[in-house]
């Protein structure tokens, strides 16, 4: 588990939740009320991309599937990105979604 904060492209908080290790961050964020847009859903476009402000070390960029495109070092594709398996309980992750 880790506390995840989702922000829109202006940096305004739109959701916060305790993330599990099983689903992508994007899916969990949608369930928590942050309407992150998906297009391909499999890591092949940039529709769901987010900048990571905090906690990149706790994220597995390919947690639920392989990444098919290149992104910047501080970016993740939220449709396939998820928590690493060894994340401490007090971990905090803060991301800013480009298309929110």
Q: Which residues bind ligand FES (CB under 6 A)?
A: 38-41, 43-45, 47-48, 77, 79
C-beta of residue 78 within 8 angstroms of C-beta of residue 29? yes
Q: Report, in Å, the least distance between residue 52 CB and ligand FES.
A: 15
Residue number closest to ligand FES, CB atom: 79
Judged by beta carbon, residue 1 or residue 42, the one nearer ligand FES is 42
CB of 80 to ligand FES, least distance (A): 6
């Amino acid at each position: 588990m880790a506390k995840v904060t989702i922000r829109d492209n202006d940096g305004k908080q739109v959701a916060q939740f305790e993330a599990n290790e099983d689903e992508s961050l994007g899916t969990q964020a949608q369930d928590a009320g942050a309407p992150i847009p998906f297009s391909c859903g499999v890591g092949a476009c940039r529709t769901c991309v987010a900048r990571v402000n905090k906690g990149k070390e706790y994220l597995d960029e390919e947690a639920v599937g392989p990444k098919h495109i290149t992104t910047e070092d501080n970016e993740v594709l939220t449709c396939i990105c998820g928590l690493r398996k060894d994340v401490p309980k007090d971990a905090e992750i803060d991301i800013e979604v480009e298309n929110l």
